[in-house]
């Protein structure tokens, strides 16, 4: 792995937090993700199931985790199952964890080979009353792909039909919303790598370069700095492309006078940065571009200031929308009278600002969350307002990553250029 290993104490602490939320006689079983196929004998590579990583730090395929706090024997209360290697696997695929390495990473003393999972589970499960299993309960999940954990649920239900089945996702989702110090450090590392990529791009962009060339500049810097790569498919959107929220083709030439929207983040240690900046292709904002940019920056500053403990996401979003509405009036996109006469079910601001302003950030870019729980100190969220004026070909979004504290939120991207004068100065080099 490219990243510096986390202290095993992080994963031990995470397991303790989980155990404190479990009722008696509960056993938790979580599987790693599949290596997803493409075509023929191709694959997409491996991305660990984030709850498994959160609890163990084990970053390898064919891994299972069993947590049974009330197991009759102490050595059976935490077991990790990892893939047994061989000379053939070593030659074709490279190094796999030894049992000693798996213990060093996870802090779990009882490491078994994955092939022993069914036999060992059978010796444990009849003394348990509830089996906690994992499903993807993210509010935005719409995947039709059957995961390893989905198959595990079906296997366990078929084999042990008289046990109660519990949902572990609501518990883990709540725990993961608040970050430990080591997690914040990993997020900051991903952010710092993202900053380095952005500064490189500021010196590279000029009229005539292509969006895909800019993407290449980012990934070069990310990989050089031991990132796992892009945290998500990057958006490199010049001109009118910036008004397409999820533009990922990154295939056109950047032209003089256009803006360039960059929604890019690096991944480090499975933790993810999520940055958006908008810059002028020729290094100078036009008067209208500058006016719209300052409006977006004003909303970003307002939204950052009100991200405090005790605020609910729904109220936060609405408060930012009201402020955004005032900025759109200042830009001449509609008037106060238009707002007074608008259909309240179709507010005018949605033509120019149609997305959420914040999401949780962590092991997943759109990290697990519960929109009906208030913000708390220790949570990390994005803050990403934008104004998209399709009729003018202007799309501007600005995004920082904020750590909520008991006082003002800390901008983890404070070192990444965002002010107009600094951007123009760096691009003039």
Residues 165-192 have pLDDT tens digits of 999 999 999 999 999 999 999 999 999 9
Asked if residue 1 belongs to a domain, the reply is no
Domain stop point among 176, 208, 234: 176
Are both 232 and 305 inside the same structural domain? yes
pLDDT of residue 143: 79
Are both 148 and 278 inside the same structural domain? no
Residues 327-357 have pLDDT tens digits of 999 999 999 999 999 999 999 999 999 999 9
Are both 167 and 189 inside the same structural domain? no
204-243 as b/e: b if 16+ CB within 10 A:
ebeeebebebbbebbbebbeebebbebbbebbbbbbbbbb
Asked if residue 341 belongs to a domain, the reply is yes
Are both 168 and 196 inside the same structural domain? no
pLDDT of residue 44: 85
Residue 35 has pLDDT above 90, yes or no: no
State the pLDDT confidence band at 65, using cuts at 50, 70 and 90: very high
Are both 126 and 248 inside the same structural domain? no
Distance CA 307, CA 365 (A): 19
Domain stop point among 128, 161, 176: 176
State the pLDDT confidence band at 144, using cuts at 50, 70 and 90: confident
pLDDT of residue 136: 83
Distances in Å between the alpha carbon of 396 and those of 278, 314, 355, 384, 390?
6, 23, 13, 10, 11
Mind giving me the DSSP string for 20-60?
HTSPTTEEEEEEPPP--B-STT-B------HHHHHHH----
> 130-139, 208-217, 220-229: which has the minimum mean pLDDT?
130-139
Residue range(s) defining the domain that contains residue 108: 8-176
Are both 185 and 76 inside the same structural domain? no
pLDDT of residue 260: 98
Distance CA 139, CA 359 (A): 12
- Average pLDDT score over residue span 374-382: 98
Q: Name which of 370, 335, 365 is nearest 349 in CA terms.
A: 335
Distance CA 186, CA 271 (A): 6
Token pair recorded at residue 361: 């950030």
Are both 190 and 339 inside the same structural domain? yes
Per-chain mean pLDDT for the chain: 96
pLDDT of residue 146: 86
Distance CA 245, CA 202 (A): 22
Residues 231-268 have pLDDT tens digits of 999 999 999 999 999 999 999 999 999 999 999 999 99
Residue 137 has pLDDT above 80, yes or no: no
Q: What is the CATH number of the domain that holds 193?
A: 3.90.230.10
Residues 309-335 have pLDDT tens digits of 999 999 999 999 999 999 999 999 999
Percent of the chain scored above 90 by pLDDT? 93
Asked if residue 257 belongs to a domain, the reply is yes
Note whether 53 and 113 are within 8 A (CB): no
Q: Which residues contact 176 (CB under 8 A, 6 or more apart)?
A: 51, 54, 362, 363, 367, 368
Are both 165 and 198 inside the same structural domain? no
Asked if residue 2 belongs to a domain, the reply is no
Are both 194 and 81 inside the same structural domain? no
Are both 189 and 159 inside the same structural domain? no
> How many domains in the chain?
2
Domain stop point among 132, 154, 176: 176
Q: What is the CATH number of the domain that holds 61?
A: 3.40.350.10
In degrees, rounded to 5, the angle at the alpha carbon of residue 244 between the alpha carbons of residues 241 and 247 is: 75
- Average pLDDT score over residue span 197-223: 98
Asked if residue 3 belongs to a domain, the reply is no
Are both 209 and 342 inside the same structural domain? yes
Are both 243 and 391 inside the same structural domain? yes
- Average pLDDT score over residue span 12-35: 97
pTM for this prediction:
0.96
State the pLDDT confidence band at 140, using cuts at 50, 70 and 90: confident
């Amino acid at each position: 792995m490219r990243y510096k290993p986390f202290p095993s104490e992080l994963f031990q602490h995470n397991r303790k937090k989980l155990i404190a939320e479990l009722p008696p006689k509960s056993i938790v079983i979580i599987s790693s993700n599949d290596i997803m196929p493409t075509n023929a004998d191709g694959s997409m590579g491996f991305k660990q199931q984030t709850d498994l990583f959160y609890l163990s730090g084990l970053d390898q395929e064919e891994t299972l985790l069993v947590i049974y706090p009330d197991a009759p024997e102490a050595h059976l209360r935490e077991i990790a199952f990892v893939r047994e290697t061989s000379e053939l696997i070593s030659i074709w695929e490279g190094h796999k964890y030894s049992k000693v390495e798996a213990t060093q990473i996870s802090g779990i003393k009882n490491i078994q080979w994955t092939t022993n999972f069914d036999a060992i589970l059978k010796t444990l499960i009849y003394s348990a009353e509830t089996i906690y299993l994992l499903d993807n309960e993210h509010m935005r999940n719409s995947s039709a792909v059957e995961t390893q954990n989905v198959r595990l649920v079906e296997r366990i239900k078929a084999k042990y039909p008289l046990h109660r089945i519990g949902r572990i996702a609501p518990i883990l989702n709540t725990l993961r919303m608040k970050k430990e110090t080591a997690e914040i450090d990993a997020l900051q590392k991903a952010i710092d790598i993202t900053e380095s990529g952005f500064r490189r791009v500021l010196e590279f962009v000029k009229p005539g370069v292509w969006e895909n060339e800019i993407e290449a500049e980012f990934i070069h810097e990310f990989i050089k700095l031991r990132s796992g790569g892009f945290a998500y498919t990057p958006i490199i959107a010049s001109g009118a492309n910036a008004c397409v929220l999820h533009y990922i083709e990154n295939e056109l030439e950047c032209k003089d006078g256009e803006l360039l929207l960059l929604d890019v983040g690096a991944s480090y240690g499975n933790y993810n940065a999520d940055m958006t900046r908008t810059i002028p292709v020729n290094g100078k904002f036009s008067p209208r571009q500058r006016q719209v940019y300052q409006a977006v920056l004003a909303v970003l500053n307002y939204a950052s200031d009100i991200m405090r403990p005790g605020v609910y996401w729904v109220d936060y979003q609405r408060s930012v929308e009201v402020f955004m509405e005032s900025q759109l009036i200042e830009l001449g996109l509609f008037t106060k009278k238009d707002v007074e006469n608008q259909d309240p079910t179709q507010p005018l601001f949605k033509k120019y600002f149609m997305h959420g302003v914040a999401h949780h950030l962590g092991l997943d870019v759109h990290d697990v969350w519960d929109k009906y729980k208030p913000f708390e100190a220790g949570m990390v969220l994005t803050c990403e307002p934008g104004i998209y004026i399709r009729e003018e070909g202007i799309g501007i979004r600005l995004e920082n990553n904020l750590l909520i504290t008991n006082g003002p939120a800390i901008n983890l991207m404070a070192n990444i250029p965002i002010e107009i004068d600094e951007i123009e100065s760096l691009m003039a080099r």
